[in-house]
Structure 1
Amino acid sequence: MSGRAVRKALRQREAELLQARTPTEEASESEEEPEAAPPKPSLFALLKDANDDDEGDIDDDDEQVESEPQPVELASKKSKNKKKKKKKKDKGKALATEDTEAVDEDDIDRALRELNIKTQAHDASAPIVTSSNAAPGQISLSSVLKIDSRNLDAGNEMKRLFGRNAMRPDDNEGETLGRRRDLRMRLPPGVAGGRALTKGRRNTFVQPKDEWPKAGSGGLGMEIDDSDPATGVTTYKFVHSRSYQSVQQQFVMCVAAMDPERMNVLLQHNPYHITTLLQCSEIFHHQRDFTVAGDLLERALFSLGRSLHSSFQQKLAEGSARLSFRRPENRELFLCVWRYITNLSQRGTWRTAEEFARLLLAMDPEGDPYEMCLIIDFLALKARQPERFLALTEHPTLRRKYADLPNIAFSSALAQLQLGDESLATEYLSKAITRFPWIPTMLYQELGVSTQLPPALWGVPPPDDNPRQQILASLYIERTKDLWKQPAFTTFLVNTCSTIYNLPKTRLLGSSSPSVSMSLARHVMLTAMPSLITLLPREITSRDTSSFDPLPPDDDLLSYEAEPPNLAPMIRETAGGGNAFSAFVMSIIPWFRVGEDGEIDGRQMNETERAQYRDIRQQLEQAGYPDDALRRMGDEAYEVQRIMREQQEDGQAEGRGQVEGAGRAEEEET
C-alpha cells in the first residue's frame, strides 16, 4: 500500500488517542523539561522510503502541519521513570520518543500490525514482479499461479463497479425472486438435511444465499491424494460417500430416461448434488433463463467450496494446489467452473472470470485439460490485468508450452500496449505477425479495415496440413474480434502491419504437433461453436460423450461404477416415443407380473411381446438387477409419475387462476 494511505491511517489512530487522553496526562506533559536533543528522523519519512511514495519528505518536529495533529508515540517506553518530552499545545503536535538509533523496519511493521493494516506484499492478487537477476530455474511455477479467494467473489467486483448501495436489492423484487425460486426448487417433505447453511466460515468459491435450500452436501468431501515435499505441491481429490454414490446412479438413470421433470424431482430431493445441478443449469441455459442457470452453478460451487480440505485454500493461495483430471469426481469442479466463467462473462464481471480461469489453470497447469490458455489472455485483457498475464506467459515452463499459440503471441502485444509501452508492444506484435502471418488477414476481414495489407501478408491462409492451427486461428478471431475493434487497437494493428515487408521462407512453428489434441477438442466442444466443431476430426466427434462429462480421458480413474451397465441402451431401445421414461416404466413393469401361463394384465402375450419380454429379462439379469429390485424401482417410478402429475395439475390450475384473475382485473378496469 502507498505511504499516503499509511500516513492517513496513522493520523486517524493518533486523533483517537488524543481524544482519549486524561487531564492528568496533559498536565504531566506540560511540565517544563530541559531542551530536547536534536530531532530524529520522523517515522513518516521512513514509511515514505519504504513505500517509494512520490510525495515530499516529512519535516522534523519543529514544522507544523495545518489542521492535522502529528503522530503520537508508537515505540514502547524503556522504563516507567523516563520523563516525557515537552509538547507544544499551541502547535498541536506530539513528539515521538525514540532512542538515538534510527527506527528500523521492525518498528514500522509493528506499527502497521497495531493498526491492522496489511501491506501490498502480502496480497496474492498483486502483480507478480520477477527479478531480472533471477535465473529461470529459480522461478517456481507456483509463484505465477497464486489465487486470491477474494477475487473469486463476483459480489465484490459488482460493488467496485456500481457501489455498495447499488447492490442492495429492492425488497419487493427480492421477495418475488425468492418466492419464484422457492416454488421451483423447494424441498419436499421428508428430505434428509434441513440444517442451516454455514455462514460463519467464508466459502472459498461462492457465498450462500438466504433463499437456497438448507441441507447438507449429501456426502461430498475432499482428501489429499498426493504430496511432494520437494516442490510443496499437494494433489487433492474429491470423494463420494455411499449415499452420494447412490444419488449419482439415480442421476445416470434420469439422464438415460431423457426426462427433465424427473431430473427436477431428483434435484428437489438432493438440492446439492453437483452433477444434477450442472445438468439442470444446462437445461435452464438452453431455455435462456440465465438467472436460474447461474444460480444453480453458484449453488454447485458453494457445495464444492464447503467440501474442501482444510489446507486447500492455503495451498490455493500459494499456487501449489492440484486436482487430477483423470478422476470423475474432480472433473465436476472443472466443468462447473468453466460454465460459471461463461456466466460471469455474460454479466460483465471480467475480473472474477479471469480469477476463476486462473484457478482452473492452476489445478493442472501442465496438462490443462480444458485448454484455459486459449481464453485466459482474452479475460485478462478485458479485466485490465496485463501484468498478471505477462508474468504468467513469460514463465520459462509456460513460455515453451505456449510457443505455438497465436492468441498468446498477439495478446502479449496488446498487454504491453495496455501498460503504455508502445515500442515494446510493436516489437511483440511484429514477432507475432511473422510467426502467424494468417492472423492479420483474418482480422482485416472481420474488422472491415479499408487499408490494404502489405504485399507480404496478402491472402495468407492457415496451413492446410495443420488442423490445429486452423482451429486456434478461428478460435482467436471469433473470441477477440470485438476487442480488436477498439480504435486504439485497430490503429495499432494497421501501423504495425505496414512495417512488415517480407516473411521468412520457412515456418516458425518449429516441431509443434499439427494434430488436434483431446484437450483442444474438449475446449471446442465446450465453446459450442458449430463452425469450429466441424473442424474436429471424425475420430473425436464419434466418441461417446455427455454434457455432464464431455470427452472423458481414456485413462480414467474410476473409484466406483456410477452408470448401471447395459441399462441406458436398453431404456433408449425400449421406449417407443413421447416421454421415454414413462414409456419404459409402463412397458417393463407389467412384464414382471406375468403369470406362469403367459398372461399379462388379463390377456395372453403375442409372439412379439414374448420375444421382447425374454430379451429385456435377459439384459436385466446380466446387468445384475433381480426381480424384487426392479419391482421396487417400478413402484418408485409410479410414485414419481404421480408427483409429477400433481405438480403439472397444480401448475395448470395456477396458470388458469392467473389468467382468470387478469381477465377480471381487465374487466374492472374497463
Structure 2
Amino acid sequence: MGKTGWVTSRLPRSLFIALFRHILNVGQKGCYRTALELCKLLLNLSPDDDPLAVSLMMDFYALRAQEYSWLVMLYDTYEPTKNLSMLPNFSFSVPLALYHLSNGSGQTSSRDKRESSKAAALAEELGNPETMRERADAMLQRALITFPGLLLPLLDKCSIQPDPVVASHAFYGPKAQTNQSKGLSQLVNLYVGRCFHVWKEAGVMHWLEDNVKKTLTEVDKNNPLVKEGEEMRKVRYQGTPMAIYRHILMSEIRTATAALPPALANNPVMSYDPLPPPDTTCGYTRPKSTIQQPTESSNILTTFFRSLLPNYNPDDDVNHARGLRGRWWLKAARKSSVSVAFIYSEEFTSEAPRRSMWGDTICCSHVTPTDGFLDGKNMPVR
C-alpha cells in the first residue's frame, strides 16, 4: 500500500480515516499512550506516503505519554532519511523531550518492569543528563533560528507576554510571520494549536526564554545558521501536500483551519472521505437496475400496498402492466367487431401464425406489426 500512495478505493481509505478519528477521540480522553500506539499502527500501514500526515502529531502524544526516550530515538533513526528537522513539530518537540530527560522526567512512566528497563536503556544511549541538556539547548536554538515565526504565536497561545526586546526585534517580530510561506504557516499554526499545552509546564517557559536570548545574540553576530535558515525557508514549503490538508481538516484545530486556502475553507468537505484523490473509485455505488419499471399501473395505492408484502417482486408489476395493456387492446378490438386481437412482441414474425397470451390464433398473412394496436386503434381487416 505504501507504493501506491493514497489508495483510490474508498474501503481502505475508510480504515485510515477511522483510525485517525479514533486517535483523536482517545487522545481527548487522556489516553495518550493508547493514542501513540495507534499512531504507530497508522504510520506502519503506509510509512512511505503517510497519507494522513500522522507524523505531525506523533510527537505530541509521545510528549503527553512521557515517552521522551522513544521520541528522541525515533528522531535519530529517521532524521538522515526523512529530514524530520524540516518539520516544526519535531524541531521543537525533540529538544523538549531531551530537556525532560535531563531533568530525570519520564523514567517511571512505564507500566511494568520490562518497559521501565527498556526506557532506562534508551536513556543510557542518549548520554548523561548534562550531555542531554546541552543537546537540548543546541537543538532548540537551531529550531528558533530555522522557524522564527513560531515563537510569538506560541507565547500568545500560552498567554505569555513576550519580552519587549524580543517582541521589537526584527528577527522575531511580526515580519517573521508575514515573510514565511503559506505552507510553513499552516505547519506552524498546526503545531501551536496542538502542542502549546506542553510548553506551559513548570520550568519549560524559563528554559525557552533563556534560549531565545541566546539566539538573539547569535543573530546579532550574523551567525551563518541565520542566513542558512532564511534560504531554506525561501526554497522549501512552497505548496502544501494534500496529506497535510487532510490532517488539518480532520484535526479541526481552529488556528490551523483558519489558514486554509479559500478553495478548501469555503467548499464543503465530506467528513467521512476528506479530499479524495481524483482517480478515486467508489465501491458503494449501487449498479443501475436492468429491470424495466412499469409505465402504467391500475392503481398507485394498490401497488404501494403490494410492495409491503414479503413476497413482492418488481417483475410482477411489469407483467401486470403488460397484462392490463393487452386486455385493453383486446377489449377495443372486440368492440370494433374484430374477432382477432393482435399483441405485438419481439418474437412475432410474418412467416408463421402465433398465439396471443390468451390463446387466440393470429393470422400473420392478414396482420403486420405496423398495423397493430400499439396506439389503441382498431385492427384493419384486409
TM-score when normalising by structure 1: 0.36
Match of 1:516 in 2: 240
CA distance in 1, matches of 2:75, 2:199: 20
CA distance in 2, matches of 1:522, 1:398: 26
The one-letter code matched in structure 1 to 2:245 is A
Percent identical residues? 23
- Paired residues of 1:594 and 1:600 also in contact (CA < 8 A): no
1:340-386 Cα shifts (integer Å, max 9, x gaps) = 11121122111111111111112112211111111001101111112
- Paired residues of 1:437 and 1:460 also in contact (CA < 8 A): no
Taking a change above 3 Å as real, the CA distance of residues 629 and 347 of structure 1, as seen in their structure-2 partners, is farther
Match of 1:360 in 2: 42
The one-letter code matched in structure 2 to 1:437 is P
- Paired residues of 1:593 and 1:600 also in contact (CA < 8 A): no
Match of 1:434 among 145, 163, 184: 145
Matched residue of 1:500: which SS? helix
Alpha carbon RMSD of aligned pairs, Å?
Answer: 3.5
- Paired residues of 1:522 and 1:551 also in contact (CA < 8 A): yes
Corresponding position: 1:628 with 2:314: yes
How far off its partner does 1:542 sit? 6.7
Superposition pairs of residues 398-477 of structure 1, within 5 angstroms: 400-420=82-102, 421-452=132-163, 453-454=165-166, 455=169, 456-464=171-179, 466-477=181-192
The one-letter code matched in structure 2 to 1:532 is A
Taking a change above 3 Å as real, the CA distance of residues 542 and 555 of structure 1, as seen in their structure-2 partners, is farther
Match of 1:562 among 259, 281, 284: 284
Match of 1:181 in 2: none
Matched residue of 1:563: which SS? coil
How far off its partner does 1:467 sit? 1.1
Match of 1:82 in 2: none
- Paired residues of 1:441 and 1:460 also in contact (CA < 8 A): no
Corresponding position: 1:395 with 2:81: no
- Paired residues of 2:193 and 2:254 also in contact (CA < 8 A): no
How far off its partner does 1:438 sit? 1.1
Match of 1:109 in 2: none
Matched length: 263
Corresponding position: 1:381 with 2:381: no
- Paired residues of 1:337 and 1:360 also in contact (CA < 8 A): yes
Match of 1:533 in 2: 257
1:53-73 Cα shifts (integer Å, max 9, x gaps) = xxxxxxxxxxxxxxxxxxxxx
How far off its partner does 1:546 sit? 2.3
Taking a change above 3 Å as real, the CA distance of residues 443 and 534 of structure 1, as seen in their structure-2 partners, is closer
Taking a change above 3 Å as real, the CA distance of residues 404 and 629 of structure 1, as seen in their structure-2 partners, is farther
CA distance in 1, matches of 2:158, 2:269: 36
Match of 2:307 in 1: none
How far off its partner does 1:631 sit? 8.1
CA distance in 2, matches of 1:375, 1:486: 19
CA distance in 2, matches of 1:631, 1:551: 42
CA distance in 2, matches of 1:462, 1:494: 19
How far off its partner does 1:426 sit? 0.6
The one-letter code matched in structure 2 to 1:349 is C
Corresponding position: 1:345 with 2:11: no
Gapped regions of structure 1 (runs ≥ 5): 1-234, 237-320, 568-590, 603-626, 633-670
- Paired residues of 2:183 and 2:239 also in contact (CA < 8 A): yes
CA distance in 2, matches of 1:551, 1:341: 20
Taking a change above 3 Å as real, the CA distance of residues 469 and 513 of structure 1, as seen in their structure-2 partners, is closer
Match of 1:334 among 8, 13, 16: 16
How far off its partner does 1:461 sit? 3.5
CA distance in 1, matches of 2:286, 2:315: 13
1:241-277 Cα shifts (integer Å, max 9, x gaps) = xxxxxxxxxxxxxxxxxxxxxxxxxxxxxxxxxxxxx
- Paired residues of 1:516 and 1:536 also in contact (CA < 8 A): no
CA distance in 1, matches of 2:297, 2:317: 15
1:308-327 Cα shifts (integer Å, max 9, x gaps) = xxxxxxxxxxxxx9996343
Q: Greater Rg, structure 1 or structure 2? A: 2
Superposition pairs of residues 194-209 of structure 1, within 5 angstroms: none
Match of 1:267 in 2: none
How far off its partner does 1:489 sit? 1.1
- Paired residues of 1:322 and 1:363 also in contact (CA < 8 A): no
The one-letter code matched in structure 2 to 1:441 is L
Bigger relative CO (Cα 8 Å, ≥ 6 apart): 2
CA distance in 2, matches of 1:387, 1:510: 33
Residues 354-363 or 538-547, more deviating: 538-547
CA distance in 2, matches of 1:326, 1:415: 38
The one-letter code matched in structure 2 to 1:536 is L
The one-letter code matched in structure 2 to 1:564 is R
- Paired residues of 2:193 and 2:255 also in contact (CA < 8 A): no
Taking a change above 3 Å as real, the CA distance of residues 333 and 435 of structure 1, as seen in their structure-2 partners, is same
CA distance in 2, matches of 1:350, 1:356: 10
CA distance in 2, matches of 1:631, 1:482: 66
The one-letter code matched in structure 2 to 1:376 is M
Match of 1:483 among 181, 198, 207: 198
CA distance in 2, matches of 1:388, 1:543: 40
1:69-96 Cα shifts (integer Å, max 9, x gaps) = xxxxxxxxxxxxxxxxxxxxxxxxxxxx
CA distance in 2, matches of 1:440, 1:329: 41
